[in-house]
Structure 1
Amino acid sequence: MRAGRRRRRPPRFYFSLRSPYSWLAYRDLLDRYPATAAAVEWVPFFEPDELSRKLLAEAGGAFPYTPMSPEKHRYILQDVRRLAGERGLEFTWPVDREPVWEVPHLGYLAAARHGVGAQYIALAARARWELGLDICDRTVIAGFAAELGLDAEELATASDDSGLRAEGVRVLLEIQRDGVFGVPFFVDHFDKYWGVDRLPAFAAALAAKTAADLTGVPDDSGDPLPVPAASVDDGHAGGCG
């Protein structure tokens, strides 16, 4: 490997706790592609509120998202029910009233700081898609704290924390930089995959790259990759938005 060569960022899974297709991709990752789930960086995708939009604009960014039409929303209701049925999943469609998506997503960033981001996502997914709860309700988010071993107020008020707001803006800038326009969205270097139905291709590409890395096959830079001393154990477009 050439001296001074920058290491690539790990492959990324952009998910939204709002999106039913992200929920389906989340279930598929855990149930069908656990090695991929463990290998990717999980990055939250959320529609910014007025404060986040202001901070994002001050940082030179913009949010690449267009609200869906009523026709698309009605289609998604049907499509998600079909896709969930194919997976043997039952769900309750939540009703969002004046949501502030920083509440659950910055709550995720707070949990991730403590090393329990995956557990937080599991609780949020169950609350939203199985119990039909409003995850933009701070009391719902606070209710996760006991099981996570965290402070309830820290989780519930994550959107009021200036440091987490700044981290949220950094995430929104990453969304723009990676060209993410909907979720679920998978990125590995220049390769991008959008939607639940693209997850198998993304997982296969990562598996092939891992196999190449382990055998020292050159990557796209032309430099042979070192062989580790030990083995590594690691439908529909489905884009909501």
Structure 2
Amino acid sequence: MTRRVPRLYFNFRSPYSWMAVRRLRELLPDADRRIAFRPYWDADDATVKALADRDAEILYTPMSKAKHLYILGDTKRISARLGYPMRWPVDIGEPWWERPHLAWVRATHLGAGREFYDAVTAARWERAENVCDEDVLAKLAVSVGLDADDLLAAAHDEDIKAEGVGALVDAYHDDVFGAPYFKLGRQRFWGLDRVADFVAALQRSEDPDPVDGVPAEALDRVGGYDRDTAGGCG
């Protein structure tokens, strides 16, 4: 049976998600190749309805003001400890998070998912820019060699929207309640402080399977063998 590809649910709004992906890549430079990235965001009414039509929902619960204030200080401490320059952005009004996340989906179709992801997170968490703004997003698209109009249209493209809903349906069935969230088989890892645990579990899962305690690489060298006692000739 083919093992399911490990998944990482990320969110452009979350500072913990941004730091977790950055830390993940430090520990696992080829993470983008070995792990399936999935967008997970604060859905608008249309997306919520589309999820309900598929018997799914967003499990994330909006945080209180007290928790938000705590996170401001917490992320400042963590980013300083990790050596990640950070400027906290101010989200004015009600940002439309479909726009950057679905633009990322389109960028992946064009083979520039990682580049666009990096451009968006750098803009938001290093320069405090509004990545839901059309003009900001257009400049980010151009900065990685993509067509701005094409990426901005993603949030209105029915196929891209359906793919985004599909990712959120997957998140629902994977019991995702916040980002970053890692899924490896039946194992779940939530939060920045679980990145190392996830990487360790991933590496263990990819080790060659032993046969009765004999490593696969040893079997390749010695060929077939029997289970008789040493010296047996019967």
TM above 0.5, yes or no, is yes
Give the secondary-structure state (helix, strand or coil) at the position aligned to 2:87. Answer: coil
User: Does residue 153 of structure 1 match 2:149?
Assistant: yes
1:37 deviation in Å? 4.4
The equivalent residue for 2:210 is 217
The equivalent residue for 1:43 is 38
Contact in 1 for aligned 2:8/2:35 (Cα 8 Å) = yes
User: Does residue 116 of structure 1 match 2:148?
Assistant: no
- Unaligned regions of 5+ residues in structure 2, if any? 218-234
User: Does residue 166 of structure 1 match 2:159?
Assistant: no
Q: Select the residue among 174, 198, 201 that pairs with 2:197.
A: 201
Q: 1: distance between equivalents of 2:155 and 2:68?
A: 27
Which has the larger displacement, 171-180 or 33-42? 33-42
1:149 deviation in Å? 2.3
Q: 2: distance between equivalents of 1:37 and 1:208?
A: 18
Q: Select the residue among 21, 26, 49 that pairs with 2:21.
A: 26
1:27 deviation in Å? 1.2
Give 2:210's aligned amino acid.
V
1:36 deviation in Å? 3.9
Which aligned runs of 4 or more in structure 1 are off by greater than 3 angstroms?
A: 35-38, 224-227
The equivalent residue for 2:172 is 176
1:117-149: per-residue Cα shift (whole Å, max 9, x none)? 000110001100011110111111111222322
Give 1:158's aligned amino acid.
A
Q: 2: distance between equivalents of 1:158 and 1:183?
A: 22
Q: Select the residue among 100, 104, 115 that pairs with 1:104.
A: 100
For the pair shown, the structure with the greater C-alpha radius of gyration is 2
1:53-132 mapped onto 2 (5 Å cutoff) = 53-97=48-92, 98-132=94-128
Give 1:53's aligned amino acid.
V
Note closer, same or farther for the CA distance 1:206–1:89 as it changes in structure 2 (3 Å cut).
Answer: same
Instruction: Give RMSD over aligned pairs.
Output: 1.9
- Unaligned regions of 5+ residues in structure 1, if any? 228-241
Contact in 2 for aligned 1:120/1:144 (Cα 8 Å) = yes
Contact in 2 for aligned 1:36/1:203 (Cα 8 Å) = no
Contact in 1 for aligned 2:58/2:168 (Cα 8 Å) = yes
1:30 deviation in Å? 1.9
- Equivalenced residues, count: 215
Q: 2: distance between equivalents of 1:158 and 1:191?
A: 32
Give 2:182's aligned amino acid.
F
Task: Name the TM-score, length of structure 2 as normaliser.
Answer: 0.87
Give the secondary-structure state (helix, strand or coil) at the position aligned to 1:13. Answer: strand
Give the secondary-structure state (helix, strand or coil) at the position aligned to 1:42. Answer: strand
Give 2:103's aligned amino acid.
G
